[in-house]
Structure 1
Amino acid sequence: MHGKEASTSGKSVRFGGKVAETLAEYKQGNRNDYDLLIHQLSDPDIKSASLLSWLQELRRAVTVMSKEFESLVAIILRVRWEKHDTEVVDEYRAFLVDLVSAQTVYLRSVLKMLLRKFLISPEPKDENEEDKNKRKENETTCFRHVHTSLQMIIKIVPMTPQFLMPVTSDCFPFMRKDVYIQECFVKNLLIVTQYVPRLRQKILELIIEKMILIDVHVPRTVIEESEDAEDSEGEMEDVMFEMDGVVDDTMVEHQCNIQEEDDEEDKVTDDDKNCLRPMKHPLANTLDVLMKIILEYIYDICHPNAEFDIEATKELYRHLLLIFEHVVLPTHACCHVQFFMFYICTFRPGFLDLFLDYLWKKIENPNTPSIVRQAAASYIASLLSRSKTVPMSTIKAGLDVLVTWVNRYIDCQDGSTKSYADVNLHGPFYSVCQAIFYIFVFRHKLILESEKGLAYAKGLNLERIITSRLNPLKVCLPTVVSMFATITRNYEVAFCYTVIERNNRAIIPVVSQTQCGSSSQLTNMNPLDSFFPFDPYLLHMSGVLLEPLYQKWEGQQVNDDKEQLSGEDDNDEEEEKEYSLYTDKESMLPLGITPTSAMCVSPGFRFASFGT
C-alpha cells in the first residue's frame, strides 16, 4: 500500500504502485499491480477522490499506453465519470483528449463510449414529477458533458469526423427500442451537426434511413387499423345498456345538461387530443416523434432568431435533396418520411420550383431507371395536388410540361410496332398520364373557376391522350380514371366513358403459376403499382406542423346559394353531398356504360380532414 490520499470530502484509499511503474512492470511480465489497478478502476462505487488521483497519473502515462494496454483502457472507458464531481469530469475529459492525441488507435473506442451516453434508460412509467425533473436534469448534464468532450476531441484530432459516422451508425438504437431512447439519441445527433457542420448531410441521411426503415414496417393500413381499433374501444366504453323500457331519468337529465357544453367543445377538444396523444402502434408513435424532431429541426435551421434565412435554407435544401435522391426516391410506398421535402418546399416558391425541376429531369432522362422515372411522376402529381403553397401559375406550367411530353411520346410511337398498351414498355408514359389525371382531379375547381379556365382545360387536348393507341385509361389506377372521367364529362373537357367501357369488356383475367405448381387467377387493378407520396398524413404530433400547408380533397361544391352550412356536422353533410355528385352522375350514364367506383383510400379523394 502506498499511503492514503486525503480530500476535502473525506478519505480514500488506493492500493498498488504508481501507474507508470505498474505499466512498466506489466511489460516485463509482472501482472500483479496491473490486475490490482484494473480491479480498483472496475469498482462501480469508486470514490471521486480516488478516481481523480488515478486519472491524474493515467494522463501522465498516455504516451506508453499502446495497444497492449487495451484491457486497461477498456476499463477506464466503462467508468461512469459523468456521475462524479465537476473536477473529476474535467480531469476525465482531459484524459480522453490526451489519450486519443497520443494513441489514435483508441479513437474509435472513445467515440463509441461517448455516443453510447446518448442511449439513456427508458422513462419509468410510475415516476412522480419530482423524480422526473431530477432525472431530466441529470440527463441534460450528461449530454452536455458528452458534447463538450466531442468538441474537444474534434479540435485536437482533425480525423475524428471520418471515424464518427461509422461509430454513430453502430450505436444507433434498433427501431423497436423505446421511443424515448430514440428521441434522445436523434436530438443529440442533431446537436452534433451544429458544431460539426460538415457531417450534417451524413447525420441527417443516417437518421432518415432509420426512419424509412420504420415507415415501411408500418404501412398506412396498419396505422389506420390500430387507430380505428382504439376509437372503437372508446366508443364501446361509452355505450349505456338499458333494460327493456327502463330509463334512468337522472342519467338522462345529466346527459342533457352536459350535451350543450360538449357540442361546443367537442371540435376543439377532439382535435387537441388527436394532436397530443401518442399513436397507438408503437412503431408509428416512434416515427411520429422522430418526424416532429426532423421538421422542427428544419424550421429552426431555416429560421434562426425567428427570421427566414435564405442562405441557410439553400444549404439545407441541397443536403435534403441529396438525401431524398439516395434514400427516399428509390423507396417504394413509404408513407410519411418524404414529407420533409414537402415541408421545406413550402418556405419559399423558389424551393418548390427547384424540387419540381429536379423531379422533371428524372422523368425526361431516358437513362434514368424506369422505376425512378415513375416515382418522380408520382411525386410531381402529389406535390402539385396537395401543397397549399403551389400557385396557380405553377400548376398550369406543370400540366403544360407533362401534356407536351405525353404528346411527343405519342407522336414517337405512331407507326411503331410497340404502339399498344403495355406497362413494361411504356411505364413512364403511363405514370405521367396518371399524374396529369390526378392533378386535374384535385385542382379542377381552381383551374376551371379561373379566368378562361375552361378554354385552358380544353386547350390541353386531353382527348388525344385518352384515345391514343397506348390507351392510358386502361393502365392507370381505376379510381383516378373514374374521377377524371366524371369531372371531364361534367365540364365537357373530354369524354372517357366509351374508352373505359371498351377496356372493361376487354379485361381478361391473368393466370399465374405459383411455386407449388398450382395456378391462380388474378386481376391486376393497379398494374402501375402506383402510390401517392403525399397522401393524407396520419401521424398526430408531427402532423400539426403540416396541416396548415396541406390541401385536402374538396370535391365539387353544391351550387345552392340558399343553403348555408355551418359547424362540423354540416361540413360532413356537405362532404357527402359533394361526393354524391360523382356517384349520382355514374347512375345516370347511358345503358351499356359500366359504372366504376369513385372512391379509393389510396388517392385520398374522400379524405375530408387532414390526418384521417
Structure 2
Amino acid sequence: MGMEIENNKMEVIKEEEDSEVTDSEMVRFLRNALQEVGETEFESSTHHYSDLVAVFGNQDGRDTDHVALLVASSRALSRAVTYIDIDRHNSLLSNIFRMSIWNFGENVMDALIDLIKALAASSGKYVEDCLEMLVRNFKPPQNLLNFVSQPHGIAKKEKVQDRVHKALKDIAELMPVSLLYLNGIVVQRMPRMSSKNDFPRKIKDDLQLSEIYVESMLKLERGVLGRFMGNVMLSAVVYRLVELDVEIEWDEILQDDPSKGIFDMEIEDTDEAADYNDDGEVCLKAGFGLQKMGADAFADRLDSLMVLTCEHIKSRADEGHLHEVFDTLLLSFKKSILDTHKSKFAQFVMFYACSLDPERCGVRFAVTLADTFVRAGESPTTRMSAVAYLASYLSRARFLPSTLVVSMLKRLVDWCAKYYCKFQDVEEENINPHVHRVFYSGCQAVMYVLCYRMRMMVDVPHLKSLLLDMPLESIFRNSLDPLKVCLPSIVNEFLRQAKAARLFTVSEKFFFNDLLESDLSKTYGGIERLDTFFPFDPCLLRNCDSFIRPHFLYWSIVNKTYDDDGDDNGNSDEDVNEDEGFVDGDGECFHDGDRNLDELDYEVDLDEFENSMNKMSITPRKSLKHMMPARIRPSTSPESL
C-alpha cells in the first residue's frame, strides 16, 4: 500500500500540468487542497495536500519534472496565500521556509522569492519566518561550497545574492515593521566560529561560509536598507575580524628575546613560506607563514574578510558616506579591538579608513586615542593600549600631516611632565614601575614616535622650535627614570637620534649597549607585555597589505638624524639643508627617501610602487635560507613585533 501511494505521488498535479491548465485553474486546485485540511494536518481527506507539501520538501533541482511542478506550485500558491493557516498548514510552511534557492535555476529562484514576498505581505505572522528564510540563503548549502569558489559558482552566488537582497528591500517597503527584526536575524544567523580542535575540513568549510555570509552582510549595509539598519552590520563584521584574529595565536611562533630590539623581524622558513617586501621586511603569505601553529586557514580567511571590509569602506567613501562608516568603525574599535590583547591585524581597517580622509578621520582617530590615554577614569591597561596605538599610528601613517604629529606629541609630553611633577620626590630605589606603568607607556610612546619622526621635525625650523620647547629632558631625566624602565631598543634608538639632533646632552652612560632588559623594565611590562605592543607594525596578510602599503611608512625609508653609516654627528641649524626634505606650502615636511610623501600617487600600479619602494630600501634582500634564526624574534633594528 505504501509503495502504491509513493508511485502515485503528485499524480493529480502532474495531470493538471500535462493538460496545460490555466493559472487560474492551478490556483483553484491549490485552494481546494489547502481547504481540505481540517483542524489539524492529519485530518486531510485526500492526498492532494500531502502531495503539495512534498513538492516543497524536495530540494533536488536536477529533476526537470519536479522543477516544473515547483515553479507552477509556487506561482499559484503566491495567489492563494490567504488560504494558508499557520496552524493547519505548518508542514507546508516549514518546507517552504527551509527551501534553499541555491539548489535551483533562475525560474525557481524567482518563483520562490515571489512566494516569500507574498507570504510576508499577507500576514504579520509570517514576516520573521520569511526574513529568516532569506537570510539563511546568504550562504549556500554545505554540498555546494566547492562549487561556489569556481567561476560558475561565483556567478550563481551573485544571482542568489541579488535576488535575496532585492526581496529584503521589497519586504521592507511592503512591511516596514520587518526592519525591526532584520538586524537581529542577520547577526543571530551569522555562522559560528570553529575551534582549532575541530577537524581541518570543518574549520575550512565554516570559515568559507563565514566569508560568503559577511559578503552579504556588507552588501546589505551598502544597499538601500543600510541607512535604516544603523551600524549593526559593520560592527558585527569587525567583531568577526577580531574573533578570527585572536585564533591566530601569535605567541606560538614568537619568542621574547630581551637581548634584541624591536625594530626588525626575522623568520626561518622556506622561500615559499615568507617573502621580503621591497623594504627588506618580512611579509608572510596568509596560509603559509602561519602554518606552524595550525592557523593557516584562519589567517587566509581573515585576509579575505579584511579585503572585503576594505573594499566596502572604499565603496562607501566613493559614495560620500565615509564619515558615517567611520563613526561605526570608531565605536567598534573602542568596543572590540582596543582592549583585545595584542590584536594583530583587525585594527588595520581603522588605519585604511583614516587614510581615505586624513584631515577628518585621520585626525579624529588620533585625538580619540590621545583622549583615552589622558582620561584618568579609564583602566591602566586601556590607557596603555591607547597610547601604544597612538604611537604606532603617528609613526606609521604616512598620510598624516606633520602638524598633527607634533600636536599629538606635545600633548603626550605635557601629560608626562605633569604626571612627573606629582611624583618628583620619589626616591629612585623606591620606584615601583607597575604603579607608574601609564607614565612609562607615555614616555615610551614619545620616544617611539621620535624614532620615526625626529628628522622630519628637526629639518623644518618652526617644527624644530616646537620640539625644542617641549620639556623632553625633564621627563626622561628624573627620579622615575624612564630610560631605565622602557624597552632598551627604543631608548637606544631615541638617544642616538636625540644626540645627533642635539636635542639635549646625551651621555654614553645612557646607552644600553647590551640591550638587556632590566628588572625594572620587566616589571613595567608585566604579564601582558603591553610595552612590546605597537599594533600598526607591517601587516603580514598579503592581500590586505595591498590596501595598507601605499599609506604605510616603513622603517627602512625613514630618514634618521644620524647617517646610516653610523656617523651620529647631527647637523647644526646652519648645516641643515631644507632641500633634503620636501616642504609643502605650510612648511610641513615629509621624508620618503627621494620622494615627497605628499606627492606620491596612491593610485599608482602596485608593481610600480613596489619597484619604487625597492629603490628606497637600505636593507639588502637576502634569501631566507641564508640568514634565518630558529624562530621569529625581535632583532636589533627598529621594527616591533
Does the pair score TM above 0.5?
yes
Where 1:332 maps in the other structure, the secondary structure is coil
Give the 5 Å matches for 1:521-536: 528-536=530-538
Structure-to-structure mapping, 1:169-188, within 5 angstroms: 169-175=187-193, 176-178=203-205, 180-188=208-216
Q: Is structure 2 residue 126 aligned with structure 1 residue 100?
A: no
Return the alpha-carbon distance in structure 2 between the equivalents of residues 120 and 530 of structure 1: 43
Code of the residue aligned with 1:117 in structure 2: it is N
Matches within 5 A, 1:210-289: 210-220=240-250, 231-232=270-271, 281-289=296-304
The one-letter amino acid paired with 2:564 is V
Question: Do the aligned partners of 1:7 and 1:49 also contact (CA within 8 Å) in 2?
Answer: no
- Name which of 363, 378, 401 aligns with 2:373: 363
The answer as to whether partners of 2:39 and 2:88 remain within 8 angstroms in 1 is no
Question: What pairs up with 1:109-124 in 2 under 5 angstroms?
Answer: 109-120=129-140
Match of 2:217? Answer: 189
Question: How many angstroms apart in 1 are the aligned matches of 2:501 and 2:528?
Answer: 27
Query: Using the alignment, how far apart are the partners of 1:133 and 1:9 within structure 2?
Result: 37
- 8 Å contact from structure 2 (residues 272, 288) kept in 1: no
| Aligned position for 1:431 | 441
Shift of 1:360: 1.7
Distance 1:89 1:462 in 2: 68
| TM superposition shift of 1:189 | 1.4
Q: What displacement does 1:94 show?
A: 2.9
The answer to whether residue 326 in structure 2 is matched with residue 326 in structure 1 is no
Note if contact 2:485-2:521 (Cα within 8 Å) is conserved in structure 1: no
Q: CA 1:451 to 1:67, structure 2 compared with 1: closer, same or farther past 3 Å? A: farther
Residue 396 (structure 1) shift? 1.4
Is residue 2:564 matched to residue 1:558? yes
Residue equivalent to 1:381:
391
Deviation at 1:319, TM superposition (A): 1.8
Instruction: Report Cα offsets for 1:499-552 as digits up to 9, x if no partner.
Output: 6779989738999xxxxxxxxxx9969854541110111111111111110001
Among 143, 152, 163, the residue aligned to 2:161: 143
Distance 1:364 1:138 in 2: 52
Cα distance between partner residues in 1 of 2:83 and 2:346: 48
Is the alpha carbon distance of 1:191 and 1:203 closer, same or farther for their aligned partners in structure 2, counting shifts above 3 Å? same
The answer (yes or no) to whether the contact 2:183–2:232 under 8 Å persists in 1 is yes
Residues 122/79 of structure 1: CA separation in 2 closer, same or farther (3 Å cut): closer
CA contact (8 A) 1:447 1:457 kept: yes
Partner of 1:259: none
Structure-to-structure mapping, 1:331-480, within 5 angstroms: 331-348=340-357, 349-415=359-425, 421-451=431-461, 456-480=466-490
Q: Return the offset for 1:372.
A: 1.7
Letter in 2 for 1:605: P
Three-state SS of the structure 1 residue aligned to 2:345 is: coil
Partner of 2:260: none
Match of 2:588 in 1: none
Residue-by-residue CA offset, 1:462-516 (whole Å, 9 max, x unaligned): 22112222222333233222322332234443437646779989738999xxxxx
| Contact 1:400–1:460 (8 Å) recurs in 2 | yes
Q: CA 1:139–1:602 in structure 2 vs 1: closer, same or farther (change >3 Å)?
A: farther
Q: 2:634 aligns with which of 587, 601, 607?
A: 601
Aligned partners of 2:488 and 2:516 also within 8 Å: no
Whether the 8 Å CA contact 1:121–1:181 is kept in 2: the answer is no
CA distance in 1, matches of 2:337, 2:137: 30
Instruction: Mark the CA change 1:172 to 1:221 in structure 2 (over 3 Å): closer, same or farther.
Output: same
- 1:28-70 CA distance string (max 9 Å, x none): 8448645444334323346234224433246424454224543
- Contact 2:448 / 2:494 at 8 angstroms: preserved in 1? yes
Offset, 1:390:
1.5
Amino acid at match of 1:135: G
Partners of 2:172 and 2:178 within 8 A in 1: yes
Tell me which residue corresponds to 1:202. Answer: 232
Task: Name the CA shift for 1:214/1:505 in 2 (closer, same or farther; >3 Å).
Answer: closer
Q: CA deviation at 1:220?
A: 4.5
SS at match of 1:99: helix
Q: CA separation in 1, counterparts of 2:525 and 2:440?
A: 18
Decide which moves more: 168-177 or 321-330.
168-177
CA RMSD of aligned residues (A): 4.6
User: Cα–Cα, structure 1 residues 569 and 527, in superposed 2: closer, same or farther, change >3 Å?
Assistant: closer
Report if the CA contact (8 A) 1:434-1:476 is conserved.
Answer: yes
TM-score by length of 2: 0.71
1:423–1:23 distance in 2 versus 1, CA, 3 Å: farther
**Corresponding position: 1:507 with 2:519:** yes
Pair 470,576 (structure 1): closer, same or farther in 2 beyond 3 Å: farther
CA contact (8 A) 1:388 1:549 kept: yes
Report percent identity of matched pairs: 22
Q: Cα distance 1:527–1:506, how it changes in 2: closer, same or farther (>3 A)?
A: same
Q: Give the count of matched residue pairs.
A: 533
Tell me by how many angstroms 1:204 deviates: 0.6
Answering whether residue 35 of structure 2 is matched by residue 6 of structure 1, we say no
Normalising by structure 1, what TM-score?
Answer: 0.74
Contact preservation (8 Å) 1:427, 1:528? no
Q: Could you tell me how far apart the structure 1 residues matched to 2:550 and 2:472 are?
A: 32
Shift of 1:354: 1.5
2:73 is aligned to 54
Q: Does 1:26 align with 2:26?
A: no
Contact 1:278 1:541 in 2 (8 A): no
Native 8 Å contact 1:66 1:103 kept in 2: no
2:302 aligned with 1:290: no
Q: Which residue of 2 aligns with 1:548?
A: 550
Secondary structure of the structure 1 residue equivalent to 2:538 = coil
Q: Which runs of 5+ in 1 are unaligned?
A: 236-265, 512-521, 578-598
- Give the distance between the partners of 1:30 and 1:567, measured in 2 at CA: 77
Q: 1:25 to 1:37 in 2, by over 3 A?
A: farther
Does 432-441 or 43-52 show the bigger shift? 43-52
Q: Which amino acid aligns with 1:145?
A: R
2-structure distance, mates of 1:297, 1:37: 43
Q: Which amino acid aligns with 1:190?
A: L
The 3 A distance-change label for structure 1 pair 167 and 223 is: farther
8 Å CA contact 2:448–2:490 kept in 1: the answer is yes
Q: Distance in 2 between matches of 1:509 and 1:427?
A: 10
TM-superposed deviation, 1:313:
2.1
Aligned to 2:179: 161
Whole-angstrom CA distance in 2 between matches of 1:112 and 1:602: 52
> Which of 524, 538, 541 does residue 539 from structure 1 map onto?
541
Greater shift, 177-186 or 478-487, is seen at: 177-186
Distance 1:466 1:319 in 2: 38
Cα distance in 2 between the residues matched to 1:440 and 1:363: 18
SS of corresponding position for 1:331? coil
User: What is the CA-CA distance between 1:282 and the residue it aligns to?
Assistant: 1.7
Higher RCO (CA-CA < 8 Å; seq separation 6+): 2
Q: Show the counterpart of 1:515.
A: none
Counterpart of 2:533 in structure 1: which amino acid? F
- Seen in structure 2, the aligned counterparts of structure 1 residues 299 and 497 have a Cα distance that, compared at 3 Å, is same
User: Residues 278, 6 of structure 1: CA spacing in aligned structure 2 closer, same or farther, 3 A cutoff?
Assistant: farther
CA gap 1:184/1:434 in 2 versus in 1, 3 angstroms: same
Aligned with 2:16: secondary structure? strand
User: Residues 415 and 134 of structure 1: is their aligned pair in 2 closer, same or farther, counting only changes over 3 Å?
Assistant: closer
Shift of 1:290: 1.0
SS, match of residue 196 in structure 1: helix
